[in-house]
Structures are given as C-alpha cells and as structure tokens.
Amino acid sequence: MNKWLRALGIVVLVIIIIYGVIAINLYSSVGRFPTGATRPAPAIKTLIWPTIGYPELVAPGSAMNAELYLPGATAGGSLTATLKPVRPELSGLAYALNADASTTGTSERWPRGTRFGGRTVLRVRFTVPAQAVPELYDLSVTRTVGGRQVSDMQPHAVSIAPPGQGKAFTFVSLSDIHVHQRNISRFMTPQSNKGITPDGTPVFFERAIDQVNLLRPDFAVMLGDYVRAQSYAGEYKPEFANFYKSLARFRVPVFMVPGNHDVYWNGVNGAEVYEENIGPLFYSFDAGDAHFTAVNTNQWSAQDRKMMEKFGTFVYPRKWQGQVLGAPDERKPKTYLGQLAWIRDDLAAHQAAATRFMLMHHDPYRPNGKAVAWRNERFAGLFTLGGGGSGSTALKELAARYRVAYTLTGHWHSDYIGRIPWLDHQGYASFVNQTMVTYDEGGMKDSYPGYRSWDVNGKDVTGYTYLDTFHSVPIYDGSVLNGMTDLDRLDRLAMTLARGLPGPGGSAFYLDNYLGEAMDARGLIGIFPAAGSHKVANGELYQAVPLPSNPALELLYIKTRVGAGVPGPNATTPGDPARVIVTVE
C-alpha cells in the first residue's frame, strides 16, 4: 500500500514538474526573436500632420492646417505648401500656397503619450483655393529662414471635399489586411501564397482598395492588423514596406488605427515603425458634423509584444488581445489617466457633434458585453495566454456616458453587432465588429472577406449592414452569409467596372453588381475628349477636369446607382449580376 502511494506521489510530482517546465517556457522570453534591428527611415519627420494615416479633410476656399516639428524653431519665416493630386491622370496639376499665419505651441494633433505628443511644433495655416479640384493630394511644406530651407512631404495627406458638402458624407471601413511574406505557413496557422505575389504585392488588399475606389466614399477608415509579423524572425520590416507601398493605390483618404500585429516587436518595434510612418497611435478628427475618436487598444509592454518561438512550433507574443491602460476604476471616468483620460476629454469636448464614432482594433463588447477580444485564450487546453488586459469596461463606460453612437472594430475576422443604451437613455452605443480583408488561411470559414459602407447624414447613420442586421458587404461573389464560404475558391469580385463600347474610344462604362443590394458608385472616372458639355446616360457627371497634360482631353467623374444582382450561392457558382451601362457623349 505504502509502495503504491509513494509511486503515485512520484507520478504526480513528475507531472507537476513537466507542467511547470512547459508553462515557464511558454511564458518566458526563451526563444524570443532577435530585436533591435534598424527601423526603416521614418516617413514622418518634419511635416508631422496631416499624414498618410491621419489625413486632413478640407473644403475648397477654406483653411488647411499643418504641423511642423522643427526643434527650436520660432514662428515666421517663409512657409509655402504644394498640393499635388495623387491621381496620375492629373499629374502636372499643382497648387502652390503661401502660409496665412504660423504660431508655435504644443501639437494639437499628436496627443500626449504619442510620438510628438507634448512637443512644441510650428502650426501653419494655409488657404485652399476656392476653385481647387476636389481630389486627394500629396502635401509638401517648405520653410525658409535666412536662406536655409527645410522641406517635407506626406503622401495622401489632404483631401479636398466637393464644394458645399455639409453634414452628409460616406465612408468605408476595412480591417485586418495582414500583408505577409510568402511561404510562412506553420503548424496551426496555415497561410497560402494566394494573396501575395512573388514580389510581395498584397493582391487581396489591392482588390479591396479597388472596390473602395469604385464606391469612392469621402474617406476610408482601417481598423488595424496591416501586417502579420508572426511566423519568422524579421518579417515586420518587409511586410510593412509592402503594405505602405500598396497604400498608394487608394484614391480616397484613409484614417488608420493600429492592431496587435502592427505593434509586435519582430526585429523592429512595430509601435515605433507605425508612429514614424503612419501617424499617432490615437487621435481624433471631424467629418461633416460627426466626430471620430481613434483609439489604440494595444497598450502592452515591449516585453509582451516581442515575438517568440516555442518548441520550434508555436510563434506568438505574450499578448495579442486588447488592452487600454489608465483606469484605476474602470466604472469611474473621473479616475482615468493617460490615453483613457484623453479619450474622455476628447468625447466630452465633442458632445455638440451630430454623432460620435470610435475606431479601434479590439471590440470591447462582443459578445453581449463579455469582450472576447480582451480575454485570455486557452493554449493546448492547459495554459492561458494572449489577453486578460484591462480597459474594455472603461471603453463601454465612455461610449455609454459620452453618447458614442458607433464603435468600429476588427480583430475577430467576422461580423457582429451589439449595443448598450447610453446613460441618458436618449440613444444607443452600438459596437460594430467587422470581418477581414485577407483570407489566406483558406479552407471553409463561417465568414468572408468584406467591408462596411457607411452613410452619415447629421445624426442619421445607415448602410453599414448588408442584406440583414449585421453582415459586411462581400468583396467577392459567392460569399455565403449564413453558412460556410470556400475561401480557396473566392475569385469573382462583387462589383466590376469596365470601359469599352459603344462609341469611339470606348465611351461607355459597364458596371456589374453581383451584390444582392443596389449600390451607389462614384468612381466611374475616365479620360474623354473635352467638350463644353457632355451628355451622360444612366449616370450623373459630377466633376470634369481638363487634363493638365492635354487640354483637348478631360477627366470625367461620374456617379451612378447599380441595381441589386443575384449573388452566387457559393464560390463555385457565379451569380447573375445587375448591369448598368453608362454612356458619355
């Protein structure tokens, strides 16, 4: 008897030791990828706002602001700006502006806790010409003092809105792009090469951008996870470079927030690369009468963000779920510090806005308030990793107290919408979680690549669901809303635009729509012979710009509505698209 007890004791002891060794290995920094590689040269240096990920929306004839980081600089000197359209057809067009005024002060665009937060910057005001073409522009700013010149440029930094645009606007939300390297498939994280060309171009992302450009909303928002950085040492840098390169394809301005993959430390510190190239990790902006607050839900320590490889099999950082720091008591906004205090004050200062949005990567609500994007994950059924962070209650508290109508999120790669009443019971805080853009994991999945399309008019917000009460708009025909989608076979884009007959030079646009809803498209844009007036059938000409390179030609901007098609029931069976033929004379 005694012998058996002793044997049992030894077995239990051995199990405890094995468990302990595995647990210590999983949680420890053993197997960490090398860190401390040189970061890419920063794209945000002197011109620190507006940026590619935090652009500025301006009306023709109104003020355009910029912030310059020039340590020790005083106001004044000669300050000029140049706006050049992003669209290659308009190359040669440029607006040269002289500053109306400049002052020094703390950055108004980079909050404390971000890279330039609390720094003294030179704030400069320009005026956009009243006849400026409504388009997306690269912005260059030059400062000359005593013969010394400093210049800097940010691509896609300024969007000049159509004149007279007021409280009504549209935007599209995209999430989880996951630009990656080829051949990164690993145990438990299969990734095909389908979405990445041999030269690294992210084709799934570029197709999504094309759908956005076809809709041509006033702007887009992206909700994080632009890279993967979670398979092999040193991936972050090349993935980020390819992601950044693809941003050039957008023809609308894009507001971005960081996801967990964007702040991982794999070779380089992703959080730093992000702020040196995209913009602040958190910030806010206005559009029409609405206010948007962009939140960083990745407030983990550098130790927690470092990539590790365990047992030659699992690659992960300690933390990939949501966390927002600074709430000693999450139920009491008065106690908040840091980013949470800044969000509280930003929302409080914008209570007069017609409506309020928050943008962030991790959903603090889904499902039913339980915030799965914040919790720990079970690992091999034994260990918990990945989350357990704080802040989800604080974010829900802020949304309810400060009347945030919509909180847009990604991370979970599928659609979900939930809501809680505002504290004043005058409305609801909706938490709108959305699906991914990439789908390189392949296989059968209960979600599909998509985007949301938002129509905002004062406090009325519509359009962000597709066919039912919570789904995103599919990027591909054959996506299955309630069932499994064959990700390996998705190929037909849900909306396609072609230019062709009838008429010399192909004076018609063919717009096909496989979606089961009518869609408004504003991106029917092409070069036509210049004429005093054009006759457009089945569409509306809303803008005509003589080509700078050849005044005998004009760039015409046409919008139209295409009716609902019949979507394909699955990825292998094509649907029956609705077609609108827009002709131009």
Residue 389: CB minimum distance to Fe ion, A: 13
Q: Closer to Fe ion by CB, 225 or 554: give it.
A: 225
Q: Closer to Fe ion by CB, 373 or 405: give it.
A: 373
Residue 463: CB minimum distance to Fe ion, A: 25
Residue 88: CB minimum distance to Fe ion, A: 33
Residue 322: CB minimum distance to Fe ion, A: 9
* Cα 572 from Cα 479, distance rounded (Å): 10
Binding residue for Fe ion, selected from 344, 403, 411, 452, defined by CB under 5 A: 411
Residue 361: CB minimum distance to Fe ion, A: 6
Q: What is the β-pairing status of strands 485-486 and 148-160?
A: unpaired
Residue 208: CB minimum distance to Fe ion, A: 17
**DSSP for residue 25:** H
Q: Is 260 in the site for Fe ion (CB under 5 A)?
A: yes
Q: Closer to Fe ion by CB, 230 or 260: give it.
A: 260
Identify which range of 140-148, 194-202, 411-419, 485-493 contacts Fe ion by CB under 5 A: 411-419
Interaction residues for Fe ion, span 312-341 (CB under 5 A):
none
Identify which range of 17-25, 245-253, 404-412, 443-451 contacts Fe ion by CB under 5 A: 404-412
* Cα 129 from Cα 146, distance rounded (Å): 28
Residue 178: CB minimum distance to Fe ion, A: 9
- 317 near 305, Cβ under 8 Å? yes
Identify which range of 235-243, 255-263, 480-488, 502-510 contacts Fe ion by CB under 5 A: 255-263
Q: Which residue has the tokens 């649907």?
A: 575
Work out the angle between the directed axes of helices 392-401 and 338-348 (0-180°, nearest 10): 10
Please enumerate, as own/partner, the contacts of 46-49 that have beta carbons within 8 Å and a separation of 24 or more: 46/70, 46/141, 46/150, 46/151, 46/152, 47/139, 47/140, 47/141, 47/152, 47/153, 47/154, 47/157, 48/107, 48/109, 48/110, 48/116, 48/121, 49/107, 49/109, 49/110, 49/279
Q: Closer to Fe ion by CB, 225 or 276: give it.
A: 225
In Å, what is the CA distance from 561 to each residue of 84, 174, 314, 523? 30, 22, 48, 11
Q: Closer to Fe ion by CB, 350 or 413: give it.
A: 413
Identify which range of 34-42, 373-381, 403-411, 437-445 contacts Fe ion by CB under 5 A: 403-411
* Cα 270 from Cα 300, distance rounded (Å): 12
In Å, how far from its chain's centre is CA 582? 31
Interaction residues for Fe ion, span 81-120 (CB under 5 A):
none
In Å, what is the CA distance from 458 to each residue of 55, 79, 279, 287, 404? 22, 36, 28, 10, 14
Residue 260: CB minimum distance to Fe ion, A: 5
Q: Is 225 in the site for Fe ion (CB under 5 A)?
A: yes
Q: Closer to Fe ion by CB, 318 or 356: give it.
A: 318
Q: Closer to Fe ion by CB, 260 or 433: give it.
A: 260
Q: Closer to Fe ion by CB, 360 or 497: give it.
A: 360
Work out the angle between the directed axes of helices 236-247 and 270-277 (0-180°, nearest 10): 20
Identify which range of 225-233, 284-292, 481-489, 504-512 contacts Fe ion by CB under 5 A: 225-233
Residue 225: CB minimum distance to Fe ion, A: 4
Amino acid found at 39: R
Q: Assign 247 to helix, strand or coil.
A: helix
* Cα 26 from Cα 313, distance rounded (Å): 11
Helix, strand, coil shares of the chain, percent, nearest 5, are: 15, 35, 45
* Residues contacting Fe ion: total by CB under 5 A: 4
Identify which range of 253-261, 423-431, 453-461, 525-533 contacts Fe ion by CB under 5 A: 253-261
The H or E element containing residue 395 is helix 392-401
Residue 373: CB minimum distance to Fe ion, A: 8
Which residue sits closest to Fe ion, CB atoms considered? 411
Identify which range of 94-102, 213-221, 222-230, 371-379 contacts Fe ion by CB under 5 A: 222-230
Contact residues for Fe ion (CB under 5 A)? 225, 259-260, 411
